[in-house]
Structure 1
Amino acid sequence: MKTNKTNLSVVSEVKLSYINRVKANDRIKIGWSKDAYRLFKESWDHGTIDAFETFKALYVNGANQVLGIITISTGGIRYALADPAKVFCTAIKLHASGIILCHNHPSGTLKPSEQDKQLTERMKHAGEVLGITILDHMIITREGYYSLADEGVL
């Protein structure tokens, strides 16, 4: 009888890591959409905010303290791909309880498109399955922002 041995040297190792260098007392707390807007705007390359769309996510813990911001994708002048797998994979790595989504509109308009609203709903439903709340989806420009949560769309 032939035995079937497994060769672990042909199996890839998976390593997940999040290195938090900010003490809990020093974490920024998000109280209002205005707070998130300021952080997102600071994180943007100001030479590109008017040039092409970028989609970002900001992650918070249960006390609404910021765990981190990540660029999910950079696209063209009309859209950037927002991959829910990347958004939530990062949330799980960070043990985040909430996410604020954000993308810019190079056109300067703050009005959400129908696709923006549909994406927000898809992300919201994915978060419900995972127990991670989509707190807001913001559209930003150099001059200001639109919060889907503030406007009752989310």
Structure 2
Amino acid sequence: MENHAKNPNWGTVSEIQLHYKSRVKAAERPLITSSKSAYQIALQIWNPNTIEFFEEFKILLLNNSNKVLGAYEISSGGITGTVVDIRLIFAAALKANATGIIMIHNHPSGKLIASEADKQITAKVKAASKILDIQLLDHLIITPENYYSFTDEGAL
């Protein structure tokens, strides 16, 4: 067993402070009223030059009034997929003090069909969101022309 006498502070826990500072006034935050309004906001945060080139996964962070607190890019990948770490999703949601999230990713192929991987990550995030009391409101698959909503299709 290692001798901790060399560093007497080995058991000290560093102080952690949490704060949230918004750059947008509450009255100016976009309101999500439907999957269509979420899709319109998604198009605003997506780079139109890459939406059909490689897959990206982002989240919208919402307050209790369904107003957007912010957007966060979780991952960026290749032509047919990207790796999503759900710990990053909830790290962002907790830091923003969000009560709801909408997951969004693009399909460069233009196909608006949820893959098995899409369904699995949705199920994992939904289960974790219940534990943390952060509601998963939707998961959108987007293209420049249209979208697929897990909620609208009864898949959430």
Same fold by TM (over 0.5)? Answer: yes
* Cα offset, 1:6, TM superposition: 2.0
Q: How does 1:31-50 map to 2 (within 5 A)?
A: 31-50=33-52
Question: 2: CA distance between counterparts of 1:153 and 1:118?
Answer: 11
How many residues were matched structurally? 152
Deviation at 1:19, TM superposition (A): 2.5
Runs of 4+ with deviation above 6 angstroms:
10-13
Q: Aligned Cα RMSD in Å? A: 2.2
Change (3 A) 1:118 1:69: same
Report 1:68-147 matches (<5 A): 68-147=70-149
Aligned to 1:5: 8
Deviation at 1:118, TM superposition (A): 1.0
Gapped runs of 5+ residues in structure 2?
none
Structure 2 Cα separation of the partners of residues 99 and 35 of structure 1: 14
Separation in 2, partners of 1:80, 1:111: 16
Structure 1: segments with no counterpart, 5+ residues: none
**Counterpart-to-counterpart distance in 1, 2:70 and 2:15:** 25
SS at structure 2 position matched to 1:77: coil
1:153 and 1:111 map into 2 onto residues whose CA distance is 12
Pairwise CA distance, 1:7:
7.2
State, as a whole percentage, how many aligned pairs show the same letter.
48
Amino acid at match of 2:9: T
Could you report, residue by residue, the CA deviation over 1:28-51 in whole angstroms, capped at 9, with x for unpaired residues? Answer: 110000111011111111110000
Q: Give the match's secondary structure for 1:89.
A: helix
Q: Residues 91-133 of structure 1: CA distance to partner in whole angstroms, max 9, x if unpaired?
A: 0001100000000000000010111111100000010111101
